[in-house]
Amino acid sequence: MKKYFNIIKYTQETLLVVSVIIMMVLPLLIVFYPDVINSNVTLNLYLASHIFLFFVMIIRPLADIFIGVKWLRPLVILRKGTGVISASIIVSFILSKLMIDPAGYIEAFSTYKYWSMTNYALLAHLADISAVILIITSNNLAKRIFGTWWKKIQQLSYVYFYASVLYVYLSYGNIDLLYALIIITFVTYIASVRNKKRLLKSLNVTPPIITNSSINIIPVPDKRKILKNI
């Protein structure tokens, strides 16, 4: 098992290094070698980004469902590396736009068209913003700065996934991404139900201990509050 964890560790490090290289090289290729990064290559890059993102979204629910599969839970560690490499591709396209026309790109934020559903722009930009926030906060420094808010910020992965998948599907008709969306939604729901059942089962209600001199009441956890926070 130790060897297995070492493989996961090295894979994680490799994914993070590759992510940095992508953000250094890909924007330059997009700007200076547009013939290389043509429409077909762009679609393949989006596909690669979604494959990594699919892993990010499905591995934890699967680990929660199949808790008896010992080799599955450690793979949750790779959510960081695969999430960063997925976001790095999206961020690279944003950086290329900033390199070409920084003033125009920033100015577009204040326009209605940028946030409208015309050509599904809203979905694309929600995915872009989520990717940027996730890649900036995917480090230990961000964990220390944001504290308990860090996990809430990481929930933007759902916005990133659903917005980007819907944008590519509606824009390019990629039916495979729609299947991926359905699978993730179903598996996440099943995992949520199973987690709630396990939590309810683990909550032991201890009755009051009555003695001759006093009544010692042991507080009982509020199940509704706990379930609400899952």
Question: For 118, which DSSP code?
Answer: G
Provide the token pair at 33.
Answer: 């070698």
**207 has a pLDDT exceeding 70:** no
Rounded Cα gap, residues 223 and 210, in angstroms: 24
Cα separation values, 32 from 28, 90, 195, Å: 6, 18, 50
Domain ranges of the chain: 2-228
pTM of the entire predicted model: 0.82
pLDDT digits (tens, 9 = 90+) for 103-134: 888 888 888 888 888 889 899 999 999 999 99
**Mind listing the pLDDT tens digit for each residue in 126-182?**
999 999 999 999 888 999 999 989 989 999 999 999 999 999 899 888 889 999 999
